Structure 1
Amino acid sequence: MFTITNGIILKGRDLTLKKENIVVDEGKIVEIGKESHEGKIIDVDGAIVCPSFINGHMHIGDSIIKDEGYGLSLSEMVKPPNGVKHKALADAEDEEIIQAMKSTMWEMVESGTTHFIDYREGGIKGVELLKEASKDIPIKPVILGRDDSFYGGEPDLGKVKIAIRKLLKVADGIAPSGFGEITDEVANLIVEECEKRDKISSIHVAESQSNQIESLDKFGKTEIERGIDSNFGQLVHLTNPKNDDLDLVSRSDSNVVVCPRANATLNVGVSHLNEMLGSGIKPLIGTDNVMLNSPNMFRELEFTLKLMSVYYRNYIDPKDLLKMATTNVCDNKINDVVKKSTIDVGMDAELIVLNSFSKNPYLNIINRCESKNILYTINKKVNV
């Protein structure tokens, strides 16, 4: 048992500022209060105590080819089965992939991330490689698998259903690449089988303008409409919404993840965060492909804060932005699988303690802090 004292706590789902002590016993927060103190005392002397980060969307397997292919188009880089990423993964040895993923996970741990949601290529074997890589690292991967049988214009739906069921025995959900690679029938099968097992169904939508135009031309619907109609639990990117796409999302049960740095790197657009927040959407934020970006959430948050200011010529609330990397997931059904905690009594102790440099703790984290400014990372497995 130990007590963190004299910290500025970002408490609950709303990250409400409190100057209180936190008592932790066997990985659980058992008491929060001004006078609370039990066991070993850790005096953090005015530092900020924030929920640890969740990286809402990653492709950790392409850690093997960091910064390769810079300047290529979205399709050339990541479209299966012939994108730069997929060819590299097909040619790599298992141990090479495992070691690269381990390195990336340690980088995340050292920069305050305790959970990440990964789109895992390679079918069942790909899922097992990530499980092997993560088993001794204090981080929780939420692994969403996929299978090559999903792709093509006339897939064998019987084989697709078998592949989905086999994957769901080892994975936390299913995540095909996008509607440009699968049919609506495959999409519906994925969602149906995930819902039966209370697992996550996720898909990229509207990452580029061309994706949206192609979808409208072929199906009379945007990719976002198709994602909502199929009832995917999580939609990633939404960089190029059209018509009333965001209104449809706000009225759905789908969780949203944005990846601003990846969109910028691939030159496909700017996340419509102001409109999302204005319509009541509570997105997550992720760093996307490791081949494109570091998995450091501090870098993602600072980039997004400043990009939104220049793009909209208006300021995004830094607290709303920080929630995207911490507590927004707790308002969504997918947290039944993710299991991310807030700073509240009875919750798992999953928090980071950071140096304080300014009077605004939200901007302090986003605009000032780096990995070296983390004094403690605390979760159920280990204190780093």
Structure 2
Amino acid sequence: MFTVSNGIILKGQNLVASKENIVVDDGKIIEIGKDLKEGKIIDAEGAVVCPSFINGHMHIGDSIIKDEGYGLSLSEMVKPPNGVKHIALANATDEELTLAMQESMWDMVNSGTTHFIDYREGGIKGVKLLKKASKDIPIKPIILGRDDSFYGDNPDLKQVKIAIRRLLKVADGIAPSGFGEITEDVARLIVEECKKQDKISSIHVAESESNQIESLEKFEKTEIEKGVSNNFNQLVHITNPKNDDLDLILKSNSNVVVCPRANATLNVGVCRLNEMLKLGIKPLLGTDNVMLNSPNMLRELEFTLKLMSVYYRDYISPKDLLKMATTNVCSFNVNNIIQKTSISEGNFAEFVIFKSFSKNPYLNICNRCETKNILYIINKKCIV
């Protein structure tokens, strides 16, 4: 048992700032209050206590080729099966992949991340490799698998269904690359099988303007329309919405993940985050490919804060932005796969104690803090 005392706690799903103490026992928050002090005392005087980060979208496998292919197009970099990334993955040994992924996971742990959602290449073998690599690291990967049988204009749907069911025995869900690589029949199978098992179905949509144009020309529907109509749990990027795309998302049950640094690196646009927030959409924030960016959520927060300000000539709420890296995940939880919760009594003890530089606790984290300013990282496995 221990108590975190005298800190400014960003409490509950709405990150309400309150100076209170937190009592933790056996990995759970058992009480929050003004005058509590039990067990070991962790003095957080003058510090900010924030829920630990969840990285909403990653491709951790391409940790093996950091910064390779810079300046190439989106398709040249990441489109299967001949993108720079896929060729590198095919030629890498299991040991090389494992060591690179472990390095990235430790980077995340040390910068305050305790959960990440990964688009896992390599089929069942790829899923098992990440599980093994993460075994002794205090971080929880939510692993969304894929299989080569999904791709092509005329896939064998019987084989696709078999591949999906096999993957779902070991993975937390399924995540094909995008609608440019799969048919809608495959998309429907993925969503149906994931729904049967209460697992996550996720897909990239509208990452580039050309993807949207191609989808409209071929199908008279945007990629976002296809994602919503096929009932995917999670839509990633939404960088180039058209017409009523954002309204469709708002009316659907789909969760959204945005990746501003990756979009900037690939020169595909700026996500319409301010508009999403004004509509009531509650996105998650992700760092995307490790080959493009570090998986450090503090860097993602600061970049997004300032990019949205200059792009829209309007300020984004730092509290709403911080929720995207923390508590927005509370509203996206399929069968408790993502056991990531707010700082509330009864929840898992998963939070970060940051050194404070300013009176605004939200800007303090989004605008000021770096990895070196983390005093403690606490999760249900350990205190780092």
TM-score range, shorter chain: over 0.9
Deviations 1:328-366 (A, max 9, x none): 010123472111011000000000000000000000001
1:332 and 2:332 correspond: yes
Work out whether residues 110 and 371 of structure 1, in 8 Å CA contact, stay in contact via their aligned partners in 2. Answer: yes
Return the TM-score normalized by structure 2. Answer: 0.99
CA distance in 2, matches of 1:332, 1:149: 28
Question: Cα offset for 1:231?
Answer: 0.1
CA distance in 2, matches of 1:317, 1:335: 30
Match in the other structure for 1:279: 279
Work out whether residues 329 and 335 of structure 1, in 8 Å CA contact, stay in contact via their aligned partners in 2. Answer: no
Question: Cα offset for 1:84?
Answer: 0.3
SS in 2 for 1:163: helix
What letter corresponds to residue 202 of structure 1 in structure 2?
S
Which aligned pairs between 1:16-27 and structure 2 lie closer than 5 A?
A: 16-27=16-27
Which aligned pairs between 1:201-220 and structure 2 lie closer than 5 A?
A: 201-220=201-220
CA distance in 2, matches of 1:205, 1:65: 24
Match in the other structure for 1:183: 183
Give the direction of change, closer, same or farther, for the CA distance of 1:5–1:335 in structure 2 (3 Å limit): farther
1:344 and 2:344 correspond: yes
Q: Using the TM superposition, name which of 342-351 and 324-333 deviates more.
A: 324-333
Work out whether residues 124 and 167 of structure 2, in 8 Å CA contact, stay in contact via their aligned partners in 1. Answer: yes
SS in 2 for 1:337: coil
Work out whether residues 14 and 323 of structure 1, in 8 Å CA contact, stay in contact via their aligned partners in 2. Answer: yes
SS in 1 for 2:242: coil
Deviations 1:52-75 (A, max 9, x none): 000000000000000000000000
1:162 and 2:165 correspond: no
Match in the other structure for 1:32: 32
Match in the other structure for 1:53: 53
Question: Cα offset for 1:40?
Answer: 1.1
Q: Which runs of 4+ in 1 moved over 6 A?
A: none
1:311 and 2:289 correspond: no
CA distance in 2, matches of 1:369, 1:169: 40
CA distance in 2, matches of 1:290, 1:161: 30
SS in 2 for 1:253: coil
Identity of aligned residues (%): 78
CA distance in 2, matches of 1:116, 1:335: 17
- Gaps of at least 5 residues in structure 1 are none
1:245 and 2:248 correspond: no
Match in the other structure for 1:151: 151
CA distance in 2, matches of 1:55, 1:143: 12
SS in 2 for 1:6: strand
What letter corresponds to residue 222 of structure 2 in structure 1?
T
Match in the other structure for 1:121: 121
CA distance in 2, matches of 1:52, 1:188: 34
CA distance in 1, matches of 2:337, 2:232: 15
CA distance in 2, matches of 1:156, 1:203: 20
CA distance in 2, matches of 1:137, 1:242: 41
Which aligned pairs between 1:63-212 and structure 2 lie closer than 5 A?
A: 63-212=63-212
Deviations 1:159-211 (A, max 9, x none): 00000000000000000000000000000000000000000000000000000
Work out whether residues 287 and 294 of structure 2, in 8 Å CA contact, stay in contact via their aligned partners in 1. Answer: yes
Deviations 1:72-109 (A, max 9, x none): 00000000000000000000000000000000000000
Q: Using the TM superposition, name which of 326-335 and 361-370 deviates more.
A: 326-335
- Gaps of at least 5 residues in structure 2 are none
CA distance in 2, matches of 1:210, 1:72: 15
Work out whether residues 56 and 117 of structure 1, in 8 Å CA contact, stay in contact via their aligned partners in 2. Answer: yes
1:257 and 2:262 correspond: no
Work out whether residues 57 and 287 of structure 2, in 8 Å CA contact, stay in contact via their aligned partners in 1. Answer: yes
CA distance in 1, matches of 2:129, 2:42: 38
CA distance in 1, matches of 2:77, 2:42: 47
Q: Using the TM superposition, name which of 347-356 and 327-336 deviates more.
A: 327-336
Number of residues of Structure 1 aligned to a counterpart in Structure 2: 384
SS in 2 for 1:182: coil
Aligned Cα root-mean-square deviation (Å): 0.6
Work out whether residues 199 and 335 of structure 2, in 8 Å CA contact, stay in contact via their aligned partners in 1. Answer: no
Match in the other structure for 1:373: 373
Work out whether residues 198 and 335 of structure 2, in 8 Å CA contact, stay in contact via their aligned partners in 1. Answer: no
CA distance in 2, matches of 1:230, 1:92: 34
